Copies of this chain bind each other. A is one copy, B any other.
Amino acid sequence: MHPLFERALRGEKTERPPVWLMRQAGRYLPRYRELRSSYTFREAISTPDVATEISLLPYERFGVDGVIMYSDILTILDPLGIEYRIESGVGPVIDQPINNHDDLPDGFEAMDTAVGYVGELLERLSETLGDDATTIGFAGGPFTVASYLVAGEPTKSHIPLRRLRVEAPTLWEDLLGVLTDATVAYVTYQEAHGAEVIQLFDTYVGHLTPDAYREWILPLHQQVLDAVEVPTIIFARGMNGHLEDLAATGADMVSIDWMIDIDRARDELGPAVPVQGNLDPVELLGPRDRIIEATNDVIERAGPRGHILNLGHGVERSTPPEHVATFVETAKAFTHDTD
Interface residues of A, Cβ cutoff 8 Å to B: 156, 159, 162-163, 165-167, 206-212, 238-242, 258-261, 264-265, 280, 282-283, 285-287, 290, 316, 318
B residues near A265, Cβ cutoff 8 Å: 241
Residue in contact with A209 in the complex, picked from B211, B258, B318, CB distance below 8 Å:
B258
Given A159-B316, A207-B259, A264:B282 Cβ within 8 A: no
Give 5 closest A-B pairs by Cβ, nearest first: A241-B260, A166-B286, A240-B241, A162-B282, A240-B240
B residues near A210, Cβ cutoff 8 Å: 259-261, 264
Is A259 within 8 A of B166, CB to CB? no
B residues near A206, Cβ cutoff 8 Å: 259
| Interchain CA distance A285-B172 in the complex, whole Å | 14
A-B contact pairs, 21 of them (CB 8 A): A159-B316, A163-B282, A163-B285, A166-B283, A166-B286, A167-B285, A167-B286, A209-B258, A210-B259, A211-B261, A212-B280, A238-B238, A238-B240, A238-B259, A239-B259, A240-B241, A241-B259, A241-B261, A241-B264, A241-B265, A242-B260
B residues near A280, Cβ cutoff 8 Å: 162, 209, 212
B residues near A165, Cβ cutoff 8 Å: 282
Looking across the interface, which residue of chain B has its beta carbon closest to that of A257? Answer: B241
- List 13 additional contacts besides A162-B280, A163-B318, A210-B260; criterion CB under 8 Å: A162-B282, A163-B282, A163-B316, A165-B282, A166-B286, A167-B285, A206-B259, A207-B259, A209-B261, A210-B264, A240-B240, A240-B241, A242-B260
Looking across the interface, which residue of chain B has its beta carbon closest to that of A278? Answer: B209
Q: How far is the CB of A291 from chain B (nearest CB, A)?
A: 9
Q: How far is the CB of A82 from chain B (nearest CB, A)?
A: 24
Looking across the interface, which residue of chain B has its beta carbon closest to that of A155? Answer: B156
B residues near A282, Cβ cutoff 8 Å: 159, 162-163, 165-166
| Interchain CA distance A287-B167 in the complex, whole Å | 8
Is A264 within 8 A of B285, CB to CB? no
B residues near A163, Cβ cutoff 8 Å: 282, 285, 316, 318
| Interchain CA distance A283-B240 in the complex, whole Å | 21
Q: How far is the CB of A44 from chain B (nearest CB, A)?
A: 24
Is B264 within 8 A of A166, CB to CB? no
| Interchain CA distance A215-B165 in the complex, whole Å | 39
Is B285 within 8 A of A166, CB to CB? yes
Given A163-B285, A209-B258, A282-B165, A264:B238 Cβ within 8 A: no
Looking across the interface, which residue of chain B has its beta carbon closest to that of A283? Answer: B166
Looking across the interface, which residue of chain B has its beta carbon closest to that of A319? Answer: B163
Question: Which among A238, A241, A286 has the greatest number of chain B C-beta atoms within 10 A?
Answer: A241
Q: How far is the CB of A29 from chain B (nearest CB, A)?
A: 18
| Interchain CA distance A330-B267 in the complex, whole Å | 38
Q: How far is the CB of A262 from chain B (nearest CB, A)?
A: 10
| Interchain CA distance A287-B169 in the complex, whole Å | 11
